[in-house]
Chains A and B, each alone.
Chain A
């Protein structure tokens, strides 16, 4: 079944220059394999569409049940150059939690 990522994970996002980082963390570490399978760099890049001009990199932190995404060229120039209200990407983590992921009932119950 399809669920929003917010059912099983929380997130925090910030900036490094024109790159936004989003940490996505499973509430229950047993759901980490679902995160790792469903929330790929490609899906994150697709999800944000024109907002992310560059590549999306993904790093894995199984010890924290978490993934770290780097969204390059995603903050309108970043730092002081950016003309956006959210020049630091503080709200992008909350946006990503609306991503729909595919999960089986047994995975969700585990």
Chain B
């Protein structure tokens, strides 16, 4: 049996979680997920400004902080912290933790190959809208293929203490140690599906140990010290989900079910580069305090196409807010919204969308919100999005004047006018897998 922990559900997750995982009990592998769909484009911009950047900058200081424990307990780290510059990330890790062997997985970055792909007749149509990539070609900021667990396992074979990847699937981070230690082969679909589902359960960190859980949430103990998840994996594909003893949170069948359903599409066809996992085969069993057994998982052959994650510059947006108090807080907020829209209209400003929410009334649940006829205060939240940066910038100046020139009791403007933000949009597409070649490089 091997223990694989996940200590980071996204870049920005709890900094103490991975430290506690290596301190508070036994683990063999520490998986860390840093990349959301558009993170790559942010990192690409950082790399363009400074060629030594473009990776998750929280990662090297973390390794520096836990390096002694990693050595003492022979814990290996697998992270997609490399972003668009895995080599630079590895060099920085080597600088702060010189005694650790570091390997990088390369080949996911295809930003320099898109024209080659287009010329060869690969349209890379948007999987959601069907539009061809050529419509946004000149606005692309980054392009990466999602790679699977086998290249990461290869880096573990090379004896790496720290494996740094760019855009790999979240599930690959946990599956790779199983492939490495159990010798699973590319056609063992059931086992690969089991490891993939184990990875899916832990990829959002504490969301499978009691975080964001609706079942008896008030009774979940000690969330301040919540334990992050650990997979106890067996060579035959069975596994348990658990957490370190003495930590907060809860691992139960209900909690694990919620996370299994999280961000799920067709449950019979959970597609990764490694296999297609069938969530309708999963059997869960309570296996003691804070321990759930997962078994009977079936899988099918890996797909012929890999998914590309392409980020492109879409336009601009800004979201501004004002607060109105009772009495008639909602009516005042609605009046403020009407005035702003009328003034924007008079200026002749055009937007792709103007969207207003009344925070405290219906922002989260829209038309199905619990009615609240006379709330003590309401925040009116107005957002605009468009291609014209100047128009969006002008909008940001239209809210605060209402404090003096609109309905009474307007407040909550202390942060000044809202920032104009670039909208970087996500373009999911497919590419034949034989076009993507990965390689492993040990960084000395």
Q: Report how many residues on chain B are interfacial, defined by Cβ distance under 8 Å.
A: 50
A91 in contact with B265 given A18-B128, A63-B280, A63-B283 (CB within 8 Å): no
Q: Is the C-beta of A10 less than 8 angstroms from some C-beta in chain B?
A: yes
CB distance from A92 to the nearest CB of B (A): 8
- Would you call B368 and A27 a contact (CB within 8 A)? no
A-B contact pairs, 18 of them (CB 8 A): A10-B254, A10-B258, A11-B258, A12-B214, A17-B128, A23-B257, A23-B258, A23-B260, A49-B366, A51-B368, A59-B268, A60-B280, A61-B261, A61-B279, A62-B280, A68-B264, A76-B353, A80-B424
Query: Which B residue's beta carbon lies closest to that of A64?
Result: B257
A25 in contact with B359 given A15-B263, A79-B38, A83-B353 (CB within 8 Å): no
Residues in B with CB closer than 8 Å to A83 are 317, 319, 353, 355, 383-385
- Would you call A80 and B425 a contact (CB within 8 A)? yes
Chain B interfacial positions (CB closer than 8 Å to A): 37-38, 128, 212-215, 254, 257-268, 279-284, 314, 317, 319, 353, 355, 357, 359, 363-370, 381, 383-385, 423-426, 428
Best-surrounded residue of B265, B366, B383 (most CB of chain A within 10 A): B366
Residues in B with CB closer than 8 Å to A27 are 215, 254
Q: Is the C-beta of A7 less than 8 angstroms from some C-beta in chain B?
A: no
Residues in A with CB closer than 8 Å to B37 are 79
CB distance from B57 to the nearest CB of A (A): 21
A18 to B426, CA, bound (A): 11
Residues in A with CB closer than 8 Å to B214 are 10-12, 93-94, 97
Interface set, chain A 45-61, CB cutoff 8 A to B = 47-51, 59-61
Partner of B254, one of A25, A51, A60, A94: A25
Partner of A68, one of B212, B267, B364, B385: B267
Query: Which B residue's beta carbon lies closest to that of A13?
Result: B262
- Would you call B265 and A16 a contact (CB within 8 A)? yes
Partner of B282, one of A47, A64, A92, A93: A64
User: Could you mark each residue 67-110 of chain A with 1 if its beta carbon is under 8 Å from any beta carbon of chain B, else 0?
Assistant: 01010000011011101111000111111011000000000000
- Would you call B426 and A79 a contact (CB within 8 A)? yes
- Would you call A50 and B366 a contact (CB within 8 A)? yes
Residues in A with CB closer than 8 Å to B319 are 83
Best-surrounded residue of A15, A50, A79, A91 (most CB of chain B within 10 A): A79
Partner of B364, one of A14, A49, A77, A95: A95
CB distance from B279 to the nearest CB of A (A): 6
Residues in A with CB closer than 8 Å to B364 are 85-86, 91, 95
- Would you call A68 and B261 a contact (CB within 8 A)? yes
Q: Is the C-beta of A35 less than 8 angstroms from some C-beta in chain B?
A: no
Residues in B with CB closer than 8 Å to A25 are 254, 257-258, 261
- Would you call B258 and A21 a contact (CB within 8 A)? no
